[in-house]
Amino acid sequence: MKYQIPKGLFDILPYGADQDWRFTNQWQYAERIIHHLSRDYGYLEMRTPIFEKTEVFHHSVGESTDIIAKEMYTFLDKAGRSMSLRPEGTASLVRAFVEKNLSHQGALHKFYYIGPMFRYERMQKGRYRQFHQFGIEAIGPMSAEIDVEVIDFLNEFFNRLGLKEITIQMNSVGTTECRIKYKKKLLKYLSPHFNNLSKDSQLRFEKNPLRILDSKDPHDIKIIEKAPSILDTVSKEAKEHFDKVCKLLTNLKIQYKINDKLIRGLDYYTNTVFEFTSSHLGAQNAIGGGGRYDSLVKSFGGPDLPGVGFAAGLERIIQTMVAQKVNFPSLSFPFIYFIPLSSAVREYCFEKTTELRHLFIPSEIDLDAKKIQKSLQKAIRAEAKYCAILGDEEWQNKQIQLKNLATREQKNIALDKIIPILKGYWQDFSQNNKLL
């Protein structure tokens, strides 16, 4: 019997992956950029557990959101306590921030996280049940500059990945009070249209009417077009903050569109919200989004510190990179590939392979070498840069054949020179390829 992976999950493999965006080198490439970028912007990595007490998510994400109402992987542990696999990263990060009293050290706290999230969603392209998010959170005094730092960070991430045709949408949802006011206005506007709304939107009418603005249903979209704008309802301070954010973005020449219907699916957002979309993805085109959450830290029992952050979905990002034919470097290859052509020389080659590995030089050996052509093919497939071929004849002459697989150039070198020569080649290669 052959076991199968559950629906909505996938393997990321070094080779033999079932889709063109599920190769390890693509993921490692994106992850390297994430770690470098976070360093450049001064964000520190936080790693929280994969599951938490269910109430952590209920409290922050919001009871009436789709995530909580329909999509959580919730289970009872052996002691009967309700636990949930994390559906997003902010709740756990804020829980840890408050629980471990991190606010005592410094004024502005900048963190990032990367890892799998879990939502029991209807399967379709761009929607998985285990997916990966990279996100950042800046917790500390509120300023428009921090909002823009976070938006610029995400924009720079996409630049470094080589992505094109990304659109940024901006909106402000104001404070909780602004939203209560707006909810009333919206319900008044929607009431006469109730019977024409989609089933989903009719359900949201009672529980979470703002989410109706997110509807993809064509009839709903027509009705929503003429709905009052939340930007006309938000307070003077919220409007001023939003205008400042927009001005700073313009100063940085970051292009954006204002979309006063952008709400986002989590309840904790206040003031600025934003979303990045790609034109290469079809229906599920959001590749990252976020916003401010000015009361979340306090609501967890922490200090009254506002925060702002984003989360970006790595599946959709890598899919977009593949669609846009971004060149993924192969991050793992042997620099030198030994081919011992007889059992007599195998031991020697094995020792040299090990010695080079101890010198931080990626090395491989074909322990099954029989025919030179076959072994050379293996070396080429593994993307080796050099081959060291040793047969009985070379062994007797105390020499080894060194072949540059890119230029096909080959020469015989003395056995006792092999290590220093390869060390020199490796140094040149790694300097040219920024590997050191």
Question: With contact defined as beta carbons under 8 Å apart, do 59 and 300 qualify?
Answer: yes
Burial of 356 (0-12, 13-18, 19+ CB in 10 A): buried
Q: Is 270 within 8 Å of 176 (Cβ atoms)?
A: yes
Site string for ligand AMP, 179-218 (x = CB under 6 A): ----------------------------------------
Does 137 help bind ligand AMP (rule: CB under 6 A)? no
Candidate list 212, 249, 305, 311; residue touching ligand AMP; CB under 6 A? 311
- Least distance in Å: CB of 231 to ligand AMP? 21
> For the packed helices 314-323 and 144-161, what is the interaxial angle rounded to 10 degrees?
40
Give yes or no for residue 345 binding ligand AMP (CB under 6 A): no
Q: Which of residues 270-289 bind ligand AMP (CB under 6 A)?
A: 286-289
From 118-126, 141-149, 244-252, 294-302, give the range in contact with ligand AMP by CB under 6 A: 118-126
Angle between helices 144-161 and 236-251 (to 10 degrees): 40
CB 44 within 8 A of CB 111: yes
Residue type at 374 in one-letter notation:
K
- CB of 323 vs ligand AMP, minimal distance in Å: 14
- Residue 385: count of CB within 10 angstroms of its CB: 18
Helix (H), strand (E) at residue 339: strand 336-340
Retrieve residue 431's tokens. 């300097």
Using the minimum distance from each CB to ligand AMP, give the nearer residue, 119 or 204: 119
Query: Which residue, judged by CB position, is nearest to ligand AMP in the bound state?
Result: 313
Among 133, 172, 233, 401, binds ligand AMP (CB under 6 A): 133
Query: Which tokens go with 134?
Result: 């990279």
Q: What is the DSSP letter of 306?
A: -
- 53, 58, 127, 346: which one contacts ligand AMP (CB under 6 A)? 127
Point out which span in 22-30, 106-114, 125-133, 234-242 binds ligand AMP (CB under 6 A): 125-133
User: Applying CB under 6 A, which of residues 21, 128, 269, 274 lies at the interface with ligand AMP?
Assistant: 128
Binding site for ligand AMP (CB under 6 A): 88, 119, 121, 126-128, 131, 133, 265, 286-289, 311-313, 315-316
